[in-house]
């Protein structure tokens, strides 16, 4: 039996990440902004190298162990793999947990673009550990931006040092996608604190003993806020109080899952004994708006994680395809020459199609995350109208950056498993693990359905469609540099016009108040729109490869992948557009015939 490790020693190709980061997205150019002026390309590379070394030695070697020994509930706590502790400690010591934050709150002011790249490496090595410190970062960032001085003083340092963990507590049994139904309450107390009562389910990283405390960022209702999302507030609720005594926060269990088994998913109860204290973050009843900062960051993080898993799966499939002999190539005239040795499966066109799809999806998903992160960095380091435009671009790309890597990534890992044939289905090989791990990405942090409603119902319409205008300007800038690829330039222009055409047929529905009809195929629209964004990013990479001379196999492969994406994926938009433009809606149920379609 071949060792599974022997077949997937390389969980990612640093060359592609570095090329995208430093060449395509010109990370170094961000140091021209005063926010990042203390950094340079050398320091960026040093951080990247040290994270890769840590991921190689401490994280990738234990991913299978974490999968095979899932987090488990025992005596009121959750037992998780020691790698969780090592990760929190090491990244805390390196200053990387909150590295993008301002100096004054303990950050290093590194660009989010670099931060995403570092996390991509860790996610590709072991996606079971990254959520623990990523949520700690998100929780700390909320306190840093919206918390008062006392909260900052009490909580930030131990969180950023990796001594305390952080979570986001939104979901309740009756409130998943619909946060307007949150019921946890927070009653004001004379000392300025709030008494919490309620329960949250599926809370990632919610309980374990590899950190000294866990700081929950909780959505709850303070009386007087009114119904719906507008009445929700945000509170810091530590498991243990600052003096070390328990804060009446109990863990009632750990959900067992099909994937990400090393990443605990807990049931947390607040105020079982009527003695749970929380502290307001930001303004009363504005909690959901504040929480959106963490959720938007988490959405990019989920997309990045999916991109990284798809990348690791691609590397594993590629290694396998280069080693596995099976069958013979068809000779001219369709004959097989069985006297010849078997060929490697990488020579079969259908296997190449699967691998090229994997390459296209995983590399473009990474590019999408870096592009969105670049807009984030520019938004935070510019001012006025310029900052606002970057913000609009980021807002538009966020649901896509969450969804495309999750959905297309899932498909690409599935193809990767298919490349291995029967071996893909067997536990000895790592593909089945990636297949299970990536499945959650299109569910948490807002399902694909919810992201698609956000894209079509809010982001496309916002500011009279200005974000889409800006994105088209960005795409056109790339197309202006793409004279070497006239066929693909014409194709992308045609698809941009197709997108406008689809919107032209959909938008009158909004004017007529037919909102359900307008949004009923939002997920189909997400797919069409994502394909255009991804085609643009592939074109951007091909233009860069051409500009660099396209002399190496590495650069030629980028151009080949661009052509493959345009031919095999972008063309699918014609069918999607047809669905979107058809007036008949087969998915909408009239009240009296809701179940008729399933009779």
Smallest distance from the beta carbon of 563 to ligand FAD, in angstroms? 34
Q: Is 330 left (phi over 0), alpha (psi -120 to 50) or beta?
A: beta
> Residue 240 — φ and ψ, nearest 5°?
-115, 140
> Residue 232 — φ and ψ, nearest 5°?
-100, 140
Nearer to ligand FAD, 250 or 371 (CB): 250
Nearest to 184 by CA among 101, 54, 271: 271
Smallest distance from the beta carbon of 312 to ligand FAD, in angstroms? 19
| CA gap 24, 329 in Å, rounded | 37
Smallest distance from the beta carbon of 320 to ligand FAD, in angstroms? 29
> Residue 213 — φ and ψ, nearest 5°?
-155, 160
**Cα-based torsion angle of the residue sequence 239, 240, 241, 245 in order, rounded to the nearest 10 degrees:** 140
| CA gap 417, 317 in Å, rounded | 7
Please return the burial class of 477, using the count of CB atoms within 10 Å of its CB with bins 0-12, 13-18 and 19+: exposed
- The answer to whether 359 and 413 have CB atoms below 8 angstroms apart is no
Nearer to ligand FAD, 256 or 342 (CB): 256
| CA gap 461, 510 in Å, rounded | 10
Token pair listed for 187: 């009653």
Nearer to ligand FAD, 43 or 520 (CB): 520
Specify the DSSP class assigned to residue 75: T
* Chain residues in the site for ligand FAD (CB under 6 A): 167-171, 176-177, 202-204, 257, 265, 440, 443-447, 449-450, 453
Nearer to ligand FAD, 180 or 326 (CB): 180
Smallest distance from the beta carbon of 502 to ligand FAD, in angstroms? 20
Nearer to ligand FAD, 170 or 471 (CB): 170
Smallest distance from the beta carbon of 279 to ligand FAD, in angstroms? 19
| CA gap 80, 74 in Å, rounded | 10
Smallest distance from the beta carbon of 443 to ligand FAD, in angstroms? 6
Nearest to 417 by CA among 433, 436, 432: 432
Nearer to ligand FAD, 303 or 446 (CB): 446
Smallest distance from the beta carbon of 197 to ligand FAD, in angstroms? 17
Cα separations (Å) of 537 from 22, 363, 448, 477, 502? 15, 10, 21, 12, 22
Nearer to ligand FAD, 31 or 447 (CB): 447
The count of other CB atoms within 10 Å of the CB of residue 329 is: 13
Q: How many helices (H) and strands (E) does the chain have?
A: 20, 10
Smallest distance from the beta carbon of 18 to ligand FAD, in angstroms? 31
Smallest distance from the beta carbon of 60 to ligand FAD, in angstroms? 22
| CA gap 589, 599 in Å, rounded | 13
Nearer to ligand FAD, 139 or 313 (CB): 139
Nearer to ligand FAD, 213 or 317 (CB): 213
Nearer to ligand FAD, 50 or 520 (CB): 520
| CA gap 126, 67 in Å, rounded | 10
| CA gap 222, 196 in Å, rounded | 9
């Amino acid at each position: 039996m071949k060792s599974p490790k022997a077949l997937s020693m390389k969980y990612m190709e640093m060359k592609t990440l570095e090329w995208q980061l430093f060449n395509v997205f010109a990370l170094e150019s961000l140091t021209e902004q005063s926010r990042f002026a203390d950094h340079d390309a050398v320091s960026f590379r040093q951080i990247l190298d040290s994270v890769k070394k840590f991921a190689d030695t401490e994280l990738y070697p234990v991913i299978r162990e974490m999968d095979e020994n899932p987090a488990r509930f025992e005596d009121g706590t959750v037992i998780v793999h020691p790698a969780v502790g090592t990760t929190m400690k090491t990244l805390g010591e390196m200053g990387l947990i909150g590295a993008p934050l301002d100096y004054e709150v303990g950050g290093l002011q590194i660009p989010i673009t670099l931060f995403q790249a570092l996390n991509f490496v860790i996610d590709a090595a072991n996606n079971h550990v990254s959520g623990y410190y990523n949520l700690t970062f998100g929780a700390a960032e909320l306190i840093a931006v919206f918390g008062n001085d006392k909260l900052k003083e009490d909580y930030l340092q131990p969180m950023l040092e990796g001594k305390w963990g952080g979570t986001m507590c939104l979901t309740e049994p009756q409130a998943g996608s619909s946060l307007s139904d949150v019921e946890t309450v927070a009653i004001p107390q004379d000392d300025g604190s709030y008494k919490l009562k309620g329960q949250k389910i599926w809370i990632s990283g919610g309980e374990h003993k590899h950190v000294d405390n866990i700081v929950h960022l909780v959505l709850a209702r303070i009386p007087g806020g009114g119904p719906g999302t507008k009445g929700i507030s945000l509170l810091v609720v530590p498991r243990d109080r600052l003096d070390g005594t328990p804060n009446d926060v109990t863990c009632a269990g750990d959900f067992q899952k099909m994937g990400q088994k090393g990443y605990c998913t807990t049931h947390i109860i607040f105020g079982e004994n009527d003695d749970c204290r929380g502290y307001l973050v930001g303004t009363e009843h504005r909690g959901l708006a504040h929480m959106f900062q963490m959720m938007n960051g988490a959405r990019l993080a989920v997309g990045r994680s999916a991109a990284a898993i798809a990348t690791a799966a691609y590397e594993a499939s590629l290694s396998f395809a280069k080693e596995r002999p099976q069958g013979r190539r068809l000779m001219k005239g369709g004959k097989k020459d069985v006297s010849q040795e078997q060929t490697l499966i990488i020579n079969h066109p259908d296997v190449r199609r699967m691998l090229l799809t994997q390459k296209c999806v995983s590399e473009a998903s990474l590019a999408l995350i870096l592009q969105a992160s670049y807009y984030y960095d520019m938004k935070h380091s510019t001012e006025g109208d310029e900052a606002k435009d970057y913000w609009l671009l980021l807002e538009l790309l966020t649901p896509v950056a969450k969804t495309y890597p999750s959905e297309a990534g899932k498909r690409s890992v599935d193809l990767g498993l298919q490349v291995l044939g029967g071996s893909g289905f067997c536990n000895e090989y790592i593909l089945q693990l990636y297949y299970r791990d990536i499945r959650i990405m299109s569910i948490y942090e807002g399902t694909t359905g919810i992201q698609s409603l956000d894209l079509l119902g809010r982001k496309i319409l916002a500011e009279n469609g200005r974000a889409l205008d800006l994105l088209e300007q960005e795409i056109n800038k790339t197309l202006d540099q793409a004279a070497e690829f006239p066929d693909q330039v014409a194709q992308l222009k045609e698809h941009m016009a197709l997108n406008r055409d689809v919107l032209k047929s959909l938008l009158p529905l909004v004017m007529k108040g037919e909102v359900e009809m307008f949004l009923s195929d939002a997920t189909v629209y997400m797919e069409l729109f994502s394909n255009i964004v991804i085609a643009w990013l592939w074109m951007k990479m091909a233009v860069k490869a051409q500009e660099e001379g396209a002399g190496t196999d590495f650069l030629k492969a980028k151009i080949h992948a661009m052509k493959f994406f345009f031919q095999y994926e972008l063309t699918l938009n014609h069918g999607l557009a047809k669905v979107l433009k058809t007036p008949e809606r087969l998915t909408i149920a009239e009240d009296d015939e809701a179940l008729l379609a399933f009779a």
